[in-house]
């Protein structure tokens, strides 16, 4: 569980319980069976929205095809009831299993795709199944009516029974969502949403986490579909696999707010009654008018509250929190390093190379990094510096050469495994999770490195203290300055307790004073025993910080040595520093 | 949220009050509500319109004749719900009907068997006697007690169609056809129609099925279907669709390929294939000779009814889709008269007890008999055949209602 999650959990669960009680009371006084049906549909679509949010909201891969799980759940219930006389009380759990299996089968090929391609691929699955079920002759499967003990078959003469069952399902889905949102797993998913590469660099096995989220999400959607079948009475491919089903899941979540458990609840509570009331009141007078009004309502909310109602309302009313006063300067806590007590260089690189088509981005580079050293890597834009980092920590596979970390080969190992071996990495462009607190942002690094529970929290707090951000721990990352963001990214890498840090332009865009502050943090880290390799363009900073410089030009190693020697090297001046630099250094 | 909840409660209370009022007036209601739930929009809308015309005429006739006498002359009132264009919409409409009209005593609908299947899942639970002209066998094989199927079932029609057609061919040409073509859409009624033909009936009559295609309505292009028909050259073709757009596309394409009913004998099924629209959107030539089997037709003996219907609606004839709801309203009236109370359960009970011959609502059925078996199927349900001639469908079988003689087009 994440730090502070318990309080949050207790508060959210309490609010939910109160709302649930009110809803049950409301359902008790509604006697009109059509409005009661509406009261049943709200929790069902809320569950569907929660399911969508659990995957697309947290992982950030938009799914246009959640109907596939919904439909499979519905057909599982309808077909098993017809074929084996199985009650939906068992049919729905069976449906969740089918949904989970479908999620695995869908995830395996689809996770290779990203962004729009993923969304489009997901769109195809329910459409394919729609035709498959038509072909199989399941155009309409009705749930046999049971006259003896109808409740045993999830059939109620009093429609309030359905509302109660739907609320029960909602409570389960909400509980699962709440647990995920407040857990290490949820934080992991949000990390993937922000930047899959950065998440993997922080040690997270993104593929596995995405799969787990889709399986959970698919199972929940299938449960909603199974219950929906009991209300639908007649299951048709269009009703459960149709485009509208997927859209509905997406709409309630987007309307209410993506990435929070409350979003789908708000969306369903507003949109479903709106659509159904319009349908009931106007459906017979102007068929189709409800669709127009519904569409307009959605457009309006998207314009006025683009992040969804929940976030907009929260920003307006609950943003009272002033950043806390900085406390007395903290004593720097000791840094735990997971460094083996091996002798020899931390990192050794031999003849490493990578081509993109005809371009030799990195061409046979060899160097070594001694324990406790700060090695600067400099070179003109496009020299291959970032590509070199990408080869070292497994973002890209190398074509030639080998790299050893503490004497063990790391080339060819996956990104998250290299991270767990003790290599931390920051990126040129800071990827923060703006809605999360600073502490949560940094925790992701600790979780990625395989730390759990209190140990992870401790590591994150230590990292924040070492980067001077301890006082800001509870602030949202979205409110930080550029310097604080750079430090936060550094803290995220440090939280993984690496003994080798790969920093990619950590000083970019910082003023002179800010630069000084970051430099002192880096020196402290080195003093605590960390080895640092840094790419940087700010030469003055580099001269002050680095013990040694490596110069790369057009993929090749151009020079190597003490900073003063390197900057006076004629080849380096020609290739990178330029004649002005020479003039300046000669005059001083 | 709070405001919405308030509105909802308000609505609910309103509905409750309506129920109370209904109960208080149960002794001598000023009016009794019956329902027509049929497609008023979408590809099946025209069938719904025709049903509405028939039902409204019946209601006017009943009220002009003094209403329900057993209820002190209470007027009958028709409420109409749109089944739309999908099973889900139809079922949704039924749920709205049950909620918003707590005092209806019976109804008819929803034309397409798939819709009726869904609608009766709702009406059965609400114990509303539901009359239907839909064909699918599954409608009355679910053990339901409040459904009354007034047509021969699809199975029954399939069994009866082939002997009628073969007999006709024998008489007209002296030769027995050997090769049969089957085209059907994938909704409930056509599927339950073609199933027995595939399984036993074709073989029983010594026919081989040379082409057998199923499509999903609405049809987007008839070319591939017609090409397969042309390639396999059947002696006659059964085309079992459910809506006019599909009929038009397919019949036109048949003609385009030189396979119109004048060349290849084609037999359709269902009221939609004998509507004025079909001839408006195609032409008399395209339809000439096309035979259509269905459940009912206002033929011989109904001349006055047909004339009055044509006068008030400007429709050129009264086909299955109008005479059936007309008869249904008459059945509900008879049920009310016998029940003596505006109570849906008692009305259902009365309808179950019917055994009428030549009188009352029975005169609107080709067999002139009205009695339902314990599954709710009409006893002695008769299949009728009409044939297009000069842009008008004429009933040609059974002889009791026939106004013309059938002809087998000579190719």
- Test B121 with A139 for CB contact under 8 angstroms: no
Task: Calculate mean pLDDT across residues B299-317.
Answer: 91
Per-residue pLDDT tens over the stretch A353-366: 998 888 888 988 89
Distance CA A467, CA A461 (A): 10
Q: Say how many domains are in chain A.
A: 2
Beta-strand relationship, B384-389 and B291-294: antiparallel
- Test A283 with B144 for CB contact under 8 angstroms: no
Residue A22's CB is within 10 A of a number of other CB atoms, namely 13
- Decide which of B85 and B120 is more confident: B120
Per-residue pLDDT tens over the stretch B124-178: 999 999 999 998 888 998 889 999 999 999 888 888 889 988 888 887 778 889 9
Q: What is the 3-state secondary structure (H, E, C) of B5-64?
A: HHHHHHHHHHHHHHHHHHHHHHHCCCEEEEEEEECCCCCCHHHHHHHHHHHHHHHHHHHH
Per-residue pLDDT tens over the stretch A468-508: 888 888 888 878 888 888 888 888 888 888 889 888 888 88
- Test B99 with A35 for CB contact under 8 angstroms: yes
Distances in Å between the Cα of B58 and the Cα atoms of B236, B276, B323, B326, B356 are: 38, 21, 9, 5, 19
Please spell the DSSP secondary structure of B266-283, one letter per residue.
Answer: EEEESGGGGSHHHHHHS-
Distance CA A161, CA A40 (A): 9
Last residue of a domain, one of A179, A214, A242: A242
Last residue of a domain, one of A215, A242, A269: A242
- Give chain B's length: 411
Q: Quick check: ipTM above 0.85?
A: no
Distances in Å between the Cα of B247 and the Cα atoms of A292, A305, B262 are: 32, 49, 16
Please spell the DSSP secondary structure of B102-135, one letter per residue.
Answer: TTEEEEEE-SSHHHHHHHHHHHHHTT--EEE---
Distance CA B364, CA A8 (A): 71
Per-residue pLDDT tens over the stretch A22-72: 999 999 998 888 888 889 999 999 999 999 999 998 888 888 899 999 999
Q: What is the model's pLDDT at position A325?
A: 47
State phi, psi for A369 to the nearest 5 degrees. Answer: -120, 120
- Facing B142 at nearest CB: one of A31, A144, A157: A144
Residue A94, pLDDT > 90, answer yes
CB-based contact A69:A215 (threshold 8 Å): no
- Determine the Cα angle at A209 with ends A204 and A211, to 5°: 150
Domain B155-294+384-397 has CATH 3.40.50.2300: yes
Task: Calculate mean pLDDT across residues A292-312.
Answer: 80
- Same CATH fold assignment for domains B2-152+301-370 and B155-294+384-397: yes
Tell me the range of A97-111, B82-96, B186-200 where mean pLDDT is highest.
A97-111
- Determine the Cα angle at A429 with ends A419 and A324, to 5°: 90
- Facing A139 at nearest CB: one of B7, B12, B114: B114
Q: What is the model's pLDDT at position B16?
A: 42
Q: What is the model's pLDDT at position B9?
A: 41
- Give chain A's length: 588
Nearest CA in chain B to A38: B8
CB-based contact A480:A514 (threshold 8 Å): no
Tell me the range of A165-174, A371-380, B161-170 where mean pLDDT is highest.
A165-174
Residue A438, pLDDT > 50, answer yes
The proportion of chain B whose per-residue pLDDT surpasses 90, expressed as a percent, equals 57
> Among the listed ranges A172-181, A429-438, B234-243, which one has the minimum average pLDDT value?
A429-438
Question: At A340, is the pLDDT very low, low, confident or very high (cuts 50, 70, 90)?
Answer: low
Beta-strand relationship, B75-82 and A423-425: unpaired
Nearest CA in chain B to A157: B125
Distance CA B82, CA B37 (A): 6
- Decide which of B12 and B134 is more confident: B134
Task: Calculate mean pLDDT across residues A273-279.
Answer: 81
Q: What is the model's pLDDT at position B218?
A: 86
Burial of B400 (0-12, 13-18, 19+ CB in 10 A): middle
Going by C-alpha positions, the residue among A313, A302, A199 that lies closest to residue A255 is: A302
Q: DSSP 3-state assignment of A387?
A: helix
Residue A128, pLDDT > 90, answer yes
Task: Calculate mean pLDDT across residues A446-460.
Answer: 81
- Determine the Cα angle at A311 with ends A308 and A316, to 5°: 120
Task: Calculate mean pLDDT across residues A461-472.
Answer: 86
Going by C-alpha positions, the residue among B160, B211, B161, B218 that lies closest to residue B187 is: B218
Task: Calculate mean pLDDT across residues B115-131.
Answer: 93
Burial of B6 (0-12, 13-18, 19+ CB in 10 A): exposed
Task: Calculate mean pLDDT across residues B227-252.
Answer: 92
Q: Minimal Cα–Cα distance from A230 to chain B, Å?
A: 11
- Facing B9 at nearest CB: one of A29, A270, A283: A29
Distance CA A268, CA A262 (A): 10
- Test B121 with A145 for CB contact under 8 angstroms: yes
Q: Does A412 touch chain B (CB under 8 A)?
A: no
Which residues have CB under 8 Å from A464's CB, separation 6+? Answer: A438, A439, A442, A470, A472, A473, A491
Q: Does A285 touch chain B (CB under 8 A)?
A: no
Nearest CA in chain B to A23: B5
Tell me the range of A82-96, A258-272, A403-417, B36-50 where mean pLDDT is highest.
A82-96
CATH number of the domain encompassing residue A351: 3.40.50.300
Residue A319, pLDDT > 70, answer no
Q: Minimal Cα–Cα distance from B12 to chain A, Å?
A: 5
Show the tokens assigned to A349: 């690189």
Going by C-alpha positions, the residue among A29, A52, A5 that lies closest to residue A267 is: A52
The proportion of chain A whose per-residue pLDDT surpasses 90, expressed as a percent, equals 25
Per-residue pLDDT tens over the stretch A220-241: 999 999 999 998 888 989 889 9
Residue A354 lies in a domain: yes
Q: What is the model's pLDDT at position A532?
A: 92
Last residue of a domain, one of A242, A258, A280: A242
Residue B77, pLDDT > 90, answer yes
> Among the listed ranges A307-311, A547-551, B210-214, B220-224, which one has the minimum average pLDDT value?
A307-311
Beta-strand relationship, B75-82 and B31-38: parallel
Domain of residue A102, residue span: 5-242
- Test A31 with B16 for CB contact under 8 angstroms: yes
Q: Where are the beta strands (DSSP E) in B333-401?
A: 356-357, 369-370, 384-389, 392-397
Peptide bond into B398 cis (omega under 30): yes
Beta-strand relationship, A234-235 and A141-142: antiparallel
Residue A279 lies in a domain: no
Q: Which of B3, B10, B12, B21 to mutate to test the interface with A (most CBs of A within 10 A)?
A: B12
Residue A333 lies in a domain: no
- Residues in B closer than 8 angstroms to A26, CB to CB, are 5, 8-9
Question: At A341, is the pLDDT very low, low, confident or very high (cuts 50, 70, 90)?
Answer: low
Residue A376 lies in a domain: yes
Q: What is the model's pLDDT at position A335?
A: 66
What is the CB-side half-sphere exposure of residue A353 using CA atoms within 13 A? 13
- Test B98 with A273 for CB contact under 8 angstroms: no
Instruction: Please list the residues that pair with B147 across neighbouring strands.
Output: B130
Q: What is the model's pLDDT at position B27?
A: 54
- Decide which of A537 and B358 is more confident: B358
Q: Which of B95, B139, B147, B187 to mutate to test the interface with A (most CBs of A within 10 A)?
A: B95
Per-residue pLDDT tens over the stretch A379-432: 888 888 888 888 888 888 888 889 998 888 888 888 888 888 888 888 777 667
Q: What is the model's pLDDT at position A468?
A: 85
Residue A221 lies in a domain: yes
The full set of domain ranges for chain B reads 2-152+301-370, 155-294+384-397
Q: Do A399 and A519 belong to one domain?
A: yes
- Residues in B closer than 8 angstroms to A144, CB to CB, are 142
The proportion of chain A whose per-residue pLDDT surpasses 70, expressed as a percent, equals 91
Q: What is the model's pLDDT at position B28?
A: 58
Residue A485 lies in a domain: yes
- Test B91 with A32 for CB contact under 8 angstroms: no
Residue A210, pLDDT > 60, answer yes
Residue A179 lies in a domain: yes
- Test B91 with A238 for CB contact under 8 angstroms: no
Residue A331 lies in a domain: no
Numbered residues of chain B with Cβ closer than 8 Å to any chain A Cβ: 1, 4-5, 7-9, 11-12, 15-16, 19, 40-41, 80-82, 84, 86-88, 91-93, 95-96, 98-100, 114, 117-118, 121-122, 124-125, 142-144, 186-188, 191, 216
Task: Calculate mean pLDDT across residues A137-162.
Answer: 85
Distance CA A475, CA A119 (A): 33
Q: What is the model's pLDDT at position A212?
A: 94
> Could you say which architecture CATH assigns to the domain B2-152+301-370?
3-Layer(aba) Sandwich (3.40)
Question: At B2, is the pLDDT very low, low, confident or very high (cuts 50, 70, 90)?
Answer: very low
Q: What is the model's pLDDT at position B406?
A: 83
- Residues in B closer than 8 angstroms to A34, CB to CB, are 95-96, 98-100
Question: At A78, is the pLDDT very low, low, confident or very high (cuts 50, 70, 90)?
Answer: very high
Q: Do A373 and A504 belong to one domain?
A: yes
The proportion of chain B whose per-residue pLDDT surpasses 70, expressed as a percent, equals 92
Q: What is the model's pLDDT at position B134?
A: 92
Distance CA A353, CA A400 (A): 5
Q: Do A401 and A521 belong to one domain?
A: yes
């Amino acid at each position: 569980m994440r730090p502070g999650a318990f309080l949050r959990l207790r508060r959210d669960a309490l609010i939910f319980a109160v709302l649930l009680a009110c809803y049950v009371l409301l359902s008790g006084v509604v006697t009109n069976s059509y409005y009661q049906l509406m009261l049943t549909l709200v929790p069902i679509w809320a569950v569907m929205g929660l399911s969508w949010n659990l995957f697309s909201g947290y992982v950030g891969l938009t799914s246009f095809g959640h109907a596939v799980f919904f439909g499979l759940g519905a057909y599982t219930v309808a077909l098993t009831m017809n074929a084996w006389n199985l009650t939906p009380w068992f049919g729905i759990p069976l449906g969740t299993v089918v949904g989970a299996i479908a999620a695995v089968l869908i995830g395996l090929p689809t996770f290779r795709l990203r962004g729009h391609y993923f969304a489009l691929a997901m769109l195809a699955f329910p459409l394919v199944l729609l035709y498959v079920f038509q072909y199989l002759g399941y155009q309409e499967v009705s749930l046999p009516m049971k006259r003896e003990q109808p409740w045993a078959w999830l059939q109620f003469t009093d429609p309030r029974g359905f509302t109660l069952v739907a609320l029960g399902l909602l409570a389960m889905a909400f509980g699962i969502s709440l647990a995920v949102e407040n857990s290490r797993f949820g934080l992991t998913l949000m990390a993937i949403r922000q930047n899959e590469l950065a998440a993997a660099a922080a040690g997270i096995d993104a593929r596995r986490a995405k799969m787990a989220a889709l399986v959970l999400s698919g199972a929940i959607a299938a449960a909603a579909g199974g219950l929906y079948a009991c209300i639908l009475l007649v299951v048709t491919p269009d009703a459960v696999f149709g485009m509208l089903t997927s859209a509905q899941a997406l709409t309630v979540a987007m309307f209410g707010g993506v990435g929070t458990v409350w979003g789908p609840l708000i969306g369903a509570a507003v949109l479903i009654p709106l659509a159904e009331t319009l349908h009931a009141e106007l459906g017979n007078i102007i068929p189709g008018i409800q669709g127009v009004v519904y569409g307009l309502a959605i457009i309006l909310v998207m314009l006025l509250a683009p992040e969804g109602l929940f976030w907009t309302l929260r920003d307006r009313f609950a943003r009272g929190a002033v950043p806390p006063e900085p406390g007395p300067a903290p004593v720097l806590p000791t840094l735990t390093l997971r460094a083996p007590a091996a002798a020899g260089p931390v990192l050794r690189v031999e003849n490493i190379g990578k081509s993109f088509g005809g371009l030799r981005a990195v061409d046979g580079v060899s160097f070594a990094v001694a324990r406790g050293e700060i090695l600067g890597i400099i070179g003109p834009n496009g020299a291959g510096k970032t590509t070199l980092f990408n080869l070292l920590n497994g973002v890209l596979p190398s074509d030639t050469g080998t790299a050893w970390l503490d004497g063990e080969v790391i080339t060819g190992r996956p990104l998250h495994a290299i991270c767990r071996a003790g290599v931390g990495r920051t990126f040129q462009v800071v990827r923060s999770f703006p809605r999360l607190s600073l502490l949560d942002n940094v925790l992701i690094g600790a979780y990625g490195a395989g730390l759990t529970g209190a140990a992870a929290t401790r590591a994150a707090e230590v990292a924040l203290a070492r980067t001077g951000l301890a006082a800001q721990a509870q602030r949202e990352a979205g409110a930080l300055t550029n310097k604080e963001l750079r430090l936060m990214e550094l803290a995220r890498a440090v939280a993984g307790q690496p003994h080798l840090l790969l920093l990619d332009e950590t000083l970019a865009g910082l003023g002179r004073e800010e630069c000084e502050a970051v430099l002192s943090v880096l020196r402290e880290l080195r003093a605590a025993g960390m080895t640092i390799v840094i790419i940087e363009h700010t030469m003055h900073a580099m001269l002050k910080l680095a013990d040694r410089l490596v110069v790369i030009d057009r993929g090749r190693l151009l020079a190597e040595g003490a900073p003063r020697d390197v900057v006076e090297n004629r080849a380096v001046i020609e290739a990178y520093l330029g004649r002005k630099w020479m003039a300046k250094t000669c005059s001083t | 949220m709070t405001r919405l909840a308030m509105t909802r409660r308000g609505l609910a209370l309103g509905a409750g009050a309506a129920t109370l009022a209904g109960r208080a007036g149960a002794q001598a209601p000023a009016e009794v509500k019956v329902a027509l739930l049929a497609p008023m929009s979408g590809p099946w809308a025209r069938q719904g319109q025709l049903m509405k015309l028939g039902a409204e005429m019946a209601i006017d006739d009943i009220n002009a004749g003094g209403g329900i006498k057993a209820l002190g002359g209470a007027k009958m009132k028709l409420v109409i719900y749109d089944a739309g264009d999908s099973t889900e919409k139809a079922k949704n409409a039924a749920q709205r009907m049950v909620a918003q009209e707590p005092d209806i005593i019976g109804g008819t609908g929803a034309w397409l068997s798939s819709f009726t299947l869904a609608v009766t899942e709702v009406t059965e639970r609400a114990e509303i006697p539901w009359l239907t002209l839909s064909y699918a066998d599954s409608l009355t094989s679910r053990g339901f007690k409040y459904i009354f199927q007034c047509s021969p079932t699809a199975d029954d029609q399939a069994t009866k169609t082939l002997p009628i057609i073969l007999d006709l061919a024998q008489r007209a040409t002296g030769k027995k056809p050997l090769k049969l073509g089957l085209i059907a859409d994938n909704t409930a009624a056509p599927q339950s129609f073609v199933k027995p033909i595939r399984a036993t009936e074709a073989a029983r009559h010594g026919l081989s099925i040379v082409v057998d295609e199923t499509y999903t309505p609405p049809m987007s292009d008839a070319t591939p279907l017609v090409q397969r028909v042309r390639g396999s050259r059947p002696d006659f073709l059964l085309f079992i669709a459910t809506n006019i757009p599909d009929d038009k596309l397919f019949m036109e394409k048949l003609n385009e390929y030189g396979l119109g009913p004048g060349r290849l004998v084609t037999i359709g099924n269902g009221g939609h294939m004998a509507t004025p629209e079909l001839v408006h959107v195609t032409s008399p030539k395209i339809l000439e000779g096309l035979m259509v089997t269905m459940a009912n037709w206002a033929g011989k003996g109904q001349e006055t009814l047909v004339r009055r219907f044509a006068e008030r609606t400007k429709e050129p004839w009264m086909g299955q889709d109008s005479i059936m709801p007309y008869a249904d309203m008459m059945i509900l009236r008879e049920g009310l008269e016998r029940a003596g109370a505006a109570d849906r359960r008692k009305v259902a009970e009365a309808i179950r007890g019917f055994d009428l011959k030549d009188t009352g609502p029975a005169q609107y059925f080709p067999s002139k008999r009205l009695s339902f078996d314990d599954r709710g199927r009409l006893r002695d349900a008769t299949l009728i055949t009409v044939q297009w001639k000069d842009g008008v469908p004429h009933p040609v079988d059974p002889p009791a209602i026939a106004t013309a003689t059938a002809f087998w087009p000579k190719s």
